[in-house]
Structure 1
Amino acid sequence: MALALVGLLPAIGAAESARDNWIKSLVAQLKIQRRYPLQASGEGGTAKVLFHIDREGHLISAVLAETTGDPALDREAVAMVERAQPFAPPPPELADGDLTFLVPIVFAPRRTSEIFQLDENRLKFRETKPNDAVLKARLDGVCRGC
């Protein structure tokens, strides 16, 4: 599964380190919750979730602001934000208006995994007929003298 958070709005100011650290912790908390839903088509896409939190870090609302075109990915994008709560309380210097965020969540297209490629190799191995010595060695390994 590939999923990335590309940014948060409002923009992060370089001079405000408490704010920067809080935003970084918020992003890290969201990243922990990332998943690629099994029901998704595998095409990937970018969903944008608009969410608002209160002064204690509790989620007030989360809505899909931009769709990926895949309902399973869209549901997962909103669910990811919901699972991540409660967030750390924001620094006191942040205004209440700064507690609304637009988060782009990028779901990369699925690719054939190495596990699947290994399974293909195993299928090819199973298709070959083992000779009698190989078969006897396998049976002896399982039966141990039976």
Structure 2
Amino acid sequence: MSKPRGIRLSGEVGLRIALDPRGELIDARIESSSGNRMLDRLALRSVHAASPLPPPPVEIQDYDLVFSVKFSFRVL
């Protein structure tokens, strides 16, 4: 998902995401805000739109899959 047209904002959003063994999104929350609610919502919406993600390798499917991810939005 790309940034919607007309949004000329920059910022970085830190998300915490949790996946089940099939790659389905269990939880997504903001760990560090960009300071702009629109960019924060866009980052969360992007993660939800990408679910399900590819399943993890079999070797790690028995573990809790929790990741910290940074989304950087830049005006070019």
Residue among 22, 31, 35 paired with 1:56: 22
**Aligned twin of 1:126:** none
| Residue 96 of structure 1: how far off its partner (Å) | 1.4
Unaligned runs of at least 5 residues, structure 2: none
Q: Are 2:43 and 1:82 aligned?
A: no
**Aligned twin of 1:43:** 9
**How many residue pairs were aligned?**
75
Higher relative contact order (CA 8 A, sep 6+): 2
Q: Which has the larger radius of gyration?
A: 1
- Taking structure 1 as the reference length, the TM-score comes to 0.47
Task: Work out the CA distance in 2 between the residues paired with 1:71 and 1:38.
Answer: 17
**Preserved CA contact (<8 Å) 1:37 1:72:** no
Unaligned runs of at least 5 residues, structure 1: 1-32, 112-146
Q: Could you list the runs of 4 or more consecutive aligned residues of structure 1 that deviate by over 2 angstroms after TM superposition?
A: 37-40
**Preserved CA contact (<8 Å) 1:46 1:107:** yes
Which of the pair is proportionally richer in strand? 2
Which of the pair is proportionally richer in helix? 1
Identity of aligned residues (%): 31
